[in-house]
């Protein structure tokens, strides 16, 4: 206690400091405070200083990373093969030049684009044990995925309208869904998806990003990029959300009304064969629409109590990886005309390769 008192007595109090020494101490304190503030600013990056993002790793151990790579590679090749065969068969077979197959061709192209936007980068990260994606590549991934996914949802709505006209108004089918009308409707779907993606991508990457550069998803997605922002422009986000909800709810209501009318018309058909043919035409499309809507609603409306990185990744795989791979199977498994065109295409390809090999041997 005596030592403490002696030390405290020797400590100079503020009233014994000279004015020159007091000013010198204040200058030192101000310098330390400014240096600390400068260090904090450097540790808090903004959108102009971020050159890359870190994506979520699908696995932590090397064997699981390689397993994910091979699984993604198999799914990606299946999607490329299925959608490539459908688009080529529809384009080459004149018997399939009808509105239904024209919309199916557009759907196959959109599926090819959407799965090629996300899966190759995820495969590369799993193979090379990396997580980085450049700022430009992330912005391009956000734009392309939003564009293709939005256009696909609008196109599925048009396909439900096509089935409604074919079943409920067959006499007016050529007038309501002619070649000119099909081209205009498909262009409207692509254009609306493009506009929606442009607005949301520009809004997302105009926000100041100051909460790091780690994205809690295996690809760049708008909600996870916005989590890194330190500001929330309420009115701008509300207007964009209102625009998107208006479009998607309109498509959803249109699809539901189309299928209500379709089922009413099918159940009134006297022929069992006619009902079976109508159901075989509509059920594949209804399965694809149900998968897209259910995964989308669960993604954006799930409660925060069950939200986790593993859950988010599982749901993202359901709406970004699975549909492009299974859509060709769903649409072709009961479609005899499409399967026949695909078999003819495969036979022509193999016969051409066989003839080329024989000519080379000679």
According to CATH, the topology of domain 52-357 is: Rhopdopsin 7-helix transmembrane proteins (1.20.1070)
Q: Report pTM.
A: 0.80
pLDDT at 299: 72
Cβ–Cβ < 8 Å for 155, 72: no
pLDDT at 40: 39
Query: Does the structure show a pLDDT above 90 at 257?
Result: yes
| Gap between the Cα atoms of 191 and 201, Å rounded | 15
* C-alpha torsion angle, residues 291, 190, 82, 338 (rounded to 10): 90
Alpha carbon 328 to chain centroid distance?
A: 18
Q: How confident is the model at residue 3 (pLDDT cuts 50, 70, 90)?
A: very low
Q: What is the DSSP letter of 55?
A: P
pLDDT at 11: 44
Q: What is the DSSP letter of 200?
A: H
Alpha carbon 183 to chain centroid distance?
A: 25
- Mean pLDDT, the chain, whole residue set: 82
Strand 52-54 to 132-134 pairing: antiparallel
The domain spans of the chain are 52-357
* Helix axes of 234-267 and 179-205: crossing angle, nearest 10 degrees: 150
Specify the higher pLDDT residue, 5 or 201. 201
Query: Does the structure show a pLDDT above 50 at 117?
Result: yes
Enumerate helices (H) and strands (E) in the chain, giving the number of each. Answer: 13, 2
Of 76-80, 108-112, 242-246, 341-345, which range is least confident? 242-246
- CA distance to 82, 109, 351, per residue, from 342 (Å): 10, 16, 14
Specify the higher pLDDT residue, 189 or 38. 189
Q: How confident is the model at residue 75 (pLDDT cuts 50, 70, 90)?
A: very high
Cβ–Cβ < 8 Å for 182, 103: yes
pLDDT at 25: 54
| Gap between the Cα atoms of 75 and 91, Å rounded | 24
The residue with tokens 């897209």 is 292
Render pLDDT for 262-318 as a digit per residue (tens, 0 to 9): 989 888 888 888 788 888 778 888 888 888 878 777 776 666 666 777 788 888 888
């Amino acid at each position: 206690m005596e030592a403490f008192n002696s030390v405290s007595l020797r400590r100079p109090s503020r009233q014994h400091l000279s004015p020159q020494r007091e000013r010198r101490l204040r200058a030192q304190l101000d310098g330390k405070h400014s240096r600390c503030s400068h260090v904090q600013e450097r540790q808090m990056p903004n959108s102009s200083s971020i050159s890359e993002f870190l994506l979520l790793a699908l696995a932590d151990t090397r064997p699981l990373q390689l397993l994910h790579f091979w699984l993604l590679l198999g799914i990606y090749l299946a999607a490329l093969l299925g959608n490539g065969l459908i688009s080529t068969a529809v384009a080459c077979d004149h018997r399939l030049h009808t509105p239904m197959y024209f919309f199916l061709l557009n759907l196959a192209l959109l599926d090819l684009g959407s799965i090629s936007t996300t899966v190759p980068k995820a495969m590369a990260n799993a193979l090379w044990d990396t997580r980085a994606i450049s700022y430009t590549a992330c912005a391009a991934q956000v734009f392309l995925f939003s564009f293709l996914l939005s256009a696909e949802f609008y196109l599925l709505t048009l396909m439900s309208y096509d089935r409604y006209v074919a079943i409920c108004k067959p006499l007016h089918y050529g007038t309501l869904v002619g070649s000119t009308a099909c081209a205009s409707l498909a262009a409207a779907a692509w254009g609306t998806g493009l506009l929606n993606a442009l607005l949301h991508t520009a809004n997302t990457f105009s926000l100041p990003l100051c909460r790091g550069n780690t994205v809690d998803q295996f690809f760049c997605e708008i909600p996870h990029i916005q989590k890194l922002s330190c500001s929330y422009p309420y009115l701008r986000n509300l207007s964009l959300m209102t625009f998107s909800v208006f479009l998607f709810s309109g498509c959803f209501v249109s699809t539901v009304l189309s299928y209500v009318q379709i089922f009413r018309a099918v159940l009134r058909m006297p022929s069992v064969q006619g009902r079976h043919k109508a159901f075989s035409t509509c059920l594949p499309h209804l399965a694809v629409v149900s998968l897209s809507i259910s995964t989308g609603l669960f993604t954006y409306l799930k409660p925060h109590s069950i939200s986790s990185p593993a859950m988010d990744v599982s749901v993202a795989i359901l709406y970004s990886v699975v549909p492009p791979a299974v859509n060709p199977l769903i649409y072709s498994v009961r479609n005899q005309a499409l399967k026949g065109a695909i078999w003819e295409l495969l036979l022509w390809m193999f016969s051409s390769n066989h003839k080329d090999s024989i000519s080379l041997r000679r």
